[in-house]
A and B are shown apart, each in its own frame.
Chain A
Amino acid sequence: MDALIEYSPSLLAGAWVTLKVAILSLLLAVSTGLFGAACKLSKIAPLRWWTALYTTVVRGVPDLVMMLLVFYGGQVLLNQVSDRLEWEMIELNAFAAGVLTIGFIFGAYFTETFRGAFQAVPVGQMEAGRAYGMSGWQVFWRILFPQMLRYALPGMGNNWLVLLKSTAIVSMIGLSDMTWLADQAGRTTHQPFAFYLAVCVLYLAMTSVSNAVFQRLERRYNVGVREANV
C-alpha cells in the first residue's frame, strides 16, 4: 500500500498519457470515419473499393501488429528519408506512432458506424430541407448531421470504449502510459499485483465516466423521439 501511495503521482501522470493518446486517436478516428463514410456512400466506385479494402484489412489484422509495423517500419522509412536528405537521424516518436495507428484502426470502425447512421436518416428529411430552399451544405448541417448523430451515438460510445482499452498496447512500443509505468513500479517494488490492479481501477473509472457521458448525450440527441413503452 505504501508503495502505491509513493508511486501514485507517476501512475496518475501515466493515466494522463493514456487519456491524451485516447482523445487524440478519437479525434483522428472520428474525422477518418466521417471521411470514410462519405467515400463508402459515394457514387465513385473506386472510392468505395478503397474504403472497403481499408475496413476489411483493419478488421483482419491485430492492432498490435499494425502498431509494430508503423513504429518500426516508420523508423526505417524515416532513416531512408533523412539519409537521402543528409539530415541527422530523426527518432520516430512512440506517442505519434501510437496515436496514428489507433486513429487509423478506429477510423475503420467509425466509418462503419457513420455509414449506417447516415443511411438510417429517411430520405424524405433531406427532400423536405431542399423544398424549404436550403442549400446542400445547409441540408447536411441542419438536417442530416444532427439526425445521423442520434443513430451513430450508441456505436460511437462502443467504439470509444474499445479504443480507450486498446491504448494499453502503446506500452509495448515503450510509451510510458499507465500500463508501462505500473510495469516499472511493479518490478522495482516487487508488488506487480497491486500496481496492475491500480491500473485496472483507473481504466474502470475512465470507462464508467465515459458511459455516463454517453448516456447523457444519447438522452440529449433523442429529445423529441418517443420511446416505446413495453
Chain B
Amino acid sequence: MEWFDLTVVTGSLPEFWRGLWMTLQLTAIALVVGFAFAVPLSIARVSKNPWMSAPVRAYTYFFRGTPMLVQLLLVYYGVGQSEWIQGMWETGNPFWLLFRDAYFCALVAFSLNTCAYQLEMFAGAIRNTPHGEVEAATAMGMTRATALRRIILPSALRRALPPLSNEVILMLQGSAIASAVTLVDLTGAARNVYSRHYAPFEAFIFAGLLYLAVTFILVGLFRVAENRWLAHLQPRRSASAQKD
C-alpha cells in the first residue's frame, strides 16, 4: 500500500503510547472529579428551594450550552492571562500558579464540563425515582437524609448507568482537544507524527483505531456493570431463553 507506510506507525509507537496514556489520564481524572461534584450538586439541582437549584441550573446552562474547546481556551488562556491572576502569581501562591500548567487547566475545564452533564443525568434519574420507593422509605421511618443515602441515590445512580456510559465515551472523544493547549495526548501525538513524516493517513488512522479500541473496551465494561447493577430492571427471561 503506497499511501499507508506501516514503518511510520511502528517507528512512532512509543510516542503513541505516551499520548494514549495522557488521554486516559485526562479522561479518567476528569470523570472521577466530575462525578464527585456531580452527586451532591444533583441533589441541589432537584431541590425545591430556588436558592439551591437556580445556581446549579445556571452552571449547567453555561457548560452544556457552550463548546468544551472554548471552555478549555477560557480556562487556559483566559484565566491564566488575566492581570488579576498574574498578580496572584507574583505573590507565589501555589494554588494560582497551577493555572500556568496546561495539564491542570485541561483537567479543570474537562471536569467542569463533565460534571455539568453528569449532574443533569443524575438529577433526571432522581426525579424519575418511583413514588413507591420513596413512600416505602418514609413508611419505614427513615429521615429525608437517610432515605436519600440508602434508597434514592443508590436507585437513581444505577438507573443513570446507561447515560453515564454515553458520557464516559463522549469525554474520551472530547479530550482530543487537549492538543489545543500544547498537551501531547493521543491526538497531539498523531499531529506530531503527521508533521514530522507528512503522513496524515498513518498518523490519524492509527490514532483513530486506538480510540476505537478504548471505546470498545469501555462499552464492554459498562455492559458488565449494567448486567450486575441493573439486573433487576431487565425484562424477565422466558423459560426457553433461560436455557442458553
Task: Using known A-B contacts A65-B187, A73-B200, determine if residue A196 contacts B73 with beta carbons closer than 8 Å.
Answer: yes
> Which of B175, B179, B200, B205 is packed against the most chain A CB atoms within 10 Å?
B200
Contact, CB under 8 Å: A204 / B65: yes
Q: Smallest Cβ distance from B190 to chain A, in angstroms?
A: 7
Collect the chain A residues with CB atoms within 8 Å of residue B207's CB: 65
Contact, CB under 8 Å: A193 / B82: yes
- Secondary structure at chain A's binding surface: helix, strand, loop or mixed? helix
Contact, CB under 8 Å: A65 / B176: yes
Task: Using known A-B contacts A59-B169, A72-B200, A192-B81, determine if residue A168 contacts B212 with beta carbons closer than 8 Å.
Answer: no
A contacts with B, residue count (CB < 8 A): 37
- Please provide the chain B residues from 188 to 208 with a CB less than 8 Å away from any CB of chain A in the complex: 190-191, 194, 198, 200-201, 204-205, 207-208
Q: Find A196's partner among B74, B175, B198, B204 (CB 8 Å cutoff).
A: B74
Collect the chain A residues with CB atoms within 8 Å of residue B208's CB: 57, 60-62, 65-66, 69
Task: Using known A-B contacts A59-B215, A165-B66, A200-B62, determine if residue A64 contacts B187 with beta carbons closer than 8 Å.
Answer: yes
* Cα distance, A68 to B73, chains bound together (Å): 19
B contacts with A, residue count (CB < 8 A): 41
Collect the chain B residues with CB atoms within 8 Å of residue A75's CB: 200
A172 at the interface (CB under 8 A from B): yes
Task: Using known A-B contacts A62-B173, A69-B205, A69-B208, determine if residue A179 contacts B194 with beta carbons closer than 8 Å.
Answer: no
* Cα distance, A193 to B204, chains bound together (Å): 32
* Cα distance, A199 to B71, chains bound together (Å): 10
Which chain A residue shows the least CB distance to B76?
A192
Q: Smallest Cβ distance from A98 to chain B, in angstroms?
A: 13
* Cα distance, A24 to B173, chains bound together (Å): 23
Q: Smallest Cβ distance from A15 to chain B, in angstroms?
A: 13
Contact, CB under 8 Å: B67 / A165: yes
B211 at the interface (CB under 8 A from A): yes
Which chain A residue shows the least CB distance to B75?
A196
Which chain B residue shows the least CB distance to A167?
B67
> Which residues of chain A have a CB within 8 Å of any CB of chain B?
57, 59-66, 68-69, 72-73, 75-76, 165-169, 171-172, 179, 182-183, 186, 190, 192-193, 196-197, 199-200, 203-204, 207-208
Write 28 A-B pairs (CB below 8 A) sorted by A numbering.
Answer: A57-B212, A60-B208, A62-B172, A62-B175, A65-B207, A65-B211, A68-B191, A68-B204, A69-B204, A72-B200, A76-B201, A168-B69, A168-B70, A169-B177, A172-B180, A179-B70, A183-B73, A183-B77, A192-B74, A192-B77, A192-B81, A193-B74, A193-B77, A196-B70, A196-B74, A203-B65, A203-B66, A203-B67
Known: A204-B61, A204-B62. 5 other contacts (CB 8 A): A60-B169, A68-B194, A69-B204, A186-B78, A207-B65
